[in-house]
Amino acid sequence: MMNLLRLLGGRTASAPVARERLQILLAHERGLGGQPDLLGLLRAEILAVVSRHVVLDPEKVIVRMDRGKNVSTLEVDIEVPNGFERSIAAVAT
């Protein structure tokens, strides 16, 4: 149907793009629960704690929150370089 309209109108329907962008953005913003930088704060603190034991690339620490109907999930994805045990040893000495 949309394609048909597109053919007839000769123009791309932009409303579906608007809708998708909003859904993604709001899923992120609602997770903040009114605290604009909750995720940033969580990320910084998690990074600080893990960095005490493992050498990390701060760029590779991803904190994401997804709000569902009944429960929300907090996803923390930390990429640890290979041979991190050596890094710990280096830090410890």
What residues make contact with another protein under the rule CB under 8 A? 2, 5-6, 9, 11, 13-16, 18-19, 21-23, 25-26, 29-30, 34
Q: Kindly state the smallest distance separating residue 12's Cβ from another protein, in Å.
A: 8
Looking at the Cβ atoms of 11 and 52, the one nearer to another protein is 11
Q: Kindly state the smallest distance separating residue 6's Cβ from another protein, in Å.
A: 8
Looking at the Cβ atoms of 15 and 90, the one nearer to another protein is 15
Tokens representing residue 72 in the block: 């929300």
Looking at the Cβ atoms of 35 and 51, the one nearer to another protein is 35
Q: Kindly state the smallest distance separating residue 10's Cβ from another protein, in Å.
A: 11
The β-bridge partners of 55 are: none
Alpha helices, H only, the chain: 2-9, 15-30, 38-51, 84-92
For β-strands 61-67 and 72-78, DSSP reports them as antiparallel
Residues in contact with 47: Cβ distance below 8 Å, sequence separation at least 6, in sequence order: 56, 58, 61
